[in-house]
Amino acid sequence: MERIADVSIDGYQVQCRIVARDGDYRVRVTTRRKLASGRPEDIVDVPSPLIFESEEEAERHARNLMLSVRGIRASGKPVYTIL
């Protein structure tokens, strides 16, 4: 898995990764929020339903996806702007 981005938004650490499986590529966004004690609290894995034939296409989608994150819901799921 290749990490495309790792940013902090609304108290959450947001990571975007490319996952290769059987010659196809997928994008996976993960959000994490830490408790005051420093240990991880919420980890939300948000896989994209899209499948890409090339790693380059998946990387382009991942970058655009990360640029469109405008906030994080209380559930830990990202809120995206419409591009």
CATH number of 2-73: 3.30.160
pLDDT at 83: 58
Domain ranges in the chain are 2-73
Q: What is the per-residue pLDDT across 1-39, written as a single tens digit (0 to 9) for each?
A: 566 778 888 888 899 999 998 999 999 998 988 766 766
CA distances from 28 to 14, 22, 39, 49, 74 (A): 11, 16, 22, 9, 19
Cα 40 to the chain's mean position, in Å? 17
The pTM of the full predicted model, rounded to 2 decimals, is: 0.78
Q: State how far the Cα of 59 lies from the Cα of 68, in Å rounded to an integer.
A: 14
Please say whether the beta carbons of 25 and 56 come within 8 A.
no
